Structure 1
Amino acid sequence: MEADEFRVNGYSEIEREKLNLINSTYKNLERLENYKNETIHFEKQRAKSSHKRVFNKPYKEL
């Protein structure tokens, strides 16, 4: 009886740890996705700014 209880408690602990790992991994992936999107947004803004500078430069030289 005691061995069965010990085994069940062990399995429960393993399942809890597994769920914690899954949740932690999900949160990390979500955070990485947000960083990726912020980086893409920043790079797009930088490209637009660079494009404007290059495009407007000939007009300033006239």
Structure 2
Amino acid sequence: MATEREEILTREMNEALTVILLEVYAGVMKKSDALLLLQAMRATIEPAIKAIDDTIAKVKN
């Protein structure tokens, strides 16, 4: 079950992604700019995902 903090973080991420999509569809943001922003977001998040996966593996063992 998700904690309140997890729910807040998930909601904020979903809102950020929705804003990016809406800005692209509305012509406010160029697709190329959106792709660069999304790639930067992914680069920031990927190390955290790896750390989570590593911790899961340690807990299982």
Structure number with higher relative contact order (C-alpha < 8 Å, ≥ 6 residues apart):
2
More helix per residue: 1
TM-score, normalised with respect to structure 1: 0.40
Larger Rg: 1
